[in-house]
A and B are shown apart, each in its own frame.
Chain A
Amino acid sequence: MSVLPIDEAVLVSRLREKDDEAFALLVRTYAGRLLRVARRFLNSEEDARDAVQDAFVSAFRSIGSFKSTSSLATWLHRIVVNSALMRLRTIKRHPEDEDIDDLLPRFAADGHQVAPSVDWPLPADEMIERAETRELVRKLIDQLPETYRTVLIMRDIEEMSTEDTAKALGINGNAVKVRLHRARQALRTLLDRDLRGVGQ
């Protein structure tokens, strides 16, 4: 559902004519939403705001290539994700930070789980209703190595497709699937430790 006060096709037409008021309307309508997206990728508020600004500049320059087969919201979302990814690439990382093996399940030689898994007591709907659970999830996602955190945010939070995620990251779809599966397993382990109050 569009949040725009005017017809989207009319707005796009005015944007293509470089109408100043149209860009002001675009920015006022979508900047808040795009800032929330950028904050999920970037820990610094300054970086997140810069990513949003870069995204609007990019949108301004490329409005001519906007295709009405997608919505403005979807188009801007893709642009701000790319803008946030570009900023992330400038942040130096240490290779040892990418190790995730300690957060993956352990198996005995016969292929069975070393420690039997026990489900969390709360049903899924009750779990996600709790603000503290959502806050915990945000905090724990930030503990994941960057390679995995990025894919998890794109696929499970921003709900981007495997194809779009792969394209934005410059990797193939299978690599996205592998990273996502490992990221989910690692996040499950972190959640498990926190929810049971062990391993901290």
Chain B
Amino acid sequence: MSARPYITCRELIDMIAAYLDHELPPQAEADLQRHLVVCVSCVAYLAMYEKTILACRATARYDEKLAEAAPEELVTAILAVLRS
């Protein structure tokens, strides 16, 4: 039986970034996971936080797939500066 008190939602949310980066000390990670077992609100918050990160990453990755060439006038301007 654990005598440690549950961490609060505030403490959990403060640790989310470190948790996702696997940077939490083992005891802090255990505390966080124990809170998640009993708090559906923090489970939801964590899920949305992760989706926010994934959505950011997706914006750039989809941009790269478009592989749009630079406007010709920009290329011409850069080359003119480099040759001057």
User: Is A92 an interface residue, CB under 8 A from the partner?
Assistant: no
Q: When A111-B8, A116-B41 are in contact, do A33 and B64 touch as well, CB less than 8 Å?
A: yes
Q: Determine whether the beta carbon of B74 is less than 8 Å from that of A191.
A: no
- Interface positions of B from 51 to 65, Cβ below 8 Å from A: 51-60, 62-64
Q: When A117-B41, A117-B48, A184-B52 are in contact, do A157 and B60 touch as well, CB less than 8 Å?
A: yes
User: Considering the chains assembled together, what is the distance between the CA atoms of A194 and B16 in angstroms?
Assistant: 23
For A134, give its contact among B43, B47, B51, B55 (CB under 8 Å): B55
For B45, give its contact among A113, A157, A187 (CB under 8 Å): A113
Looking at the assembled complex, report how far the CB atom of A163 sits from the nearest CB atom of chain B, in whole angstroms. 13
> Which B residues touch A188, using CB under 8 A?
45, 48-49, 52
> Which A residues touch B52, using CB under 8 A?
184, 187-188, 191
User: Considering the chains assembled together, what is the distance between the CA atoms of A49 and B74 in angstroms?
Assistant: 7
Looking at the assembled complex, report how far the CB atom of A171 sits from the nearest CB atom of chain B, in whole angstroms. 16
> Which A residues touch B63, using CB under 8 A?
36
> Which B residues touch A127, using CB under 8 A?
51, 54-55
Contact mask for chain A residues 28-46; partner B; CB cutoff 8 A; 1 contact, 0 none = 1001111110001000000
For the A-B complex, the count of residue pairs with Cβ-Cβ distances under 8 Å equals 142
For A119, give its contact among B17, B47, B71, B81 (CB under 8 Å): B47
Interface size class of B (residues with CB under 8 A): 35 or more
Contact mask for chain A residues 106-150; partner B; CB cutoff 8 A; 1 contact, 0 none = 010011110011111000100110010110011001000000000
For B59, give its contact among A105, A137, A185 (CB under 8 Å): A137
Looking at the assembled complex, report how far the CB atom of B64 sits from the nearest CB atom of chain A, in whole angstroms. 7
> Which A residues touch B47, using CB under 8 A?
119-120
List the B residue with the shortest CB-CB distance to A32. B70
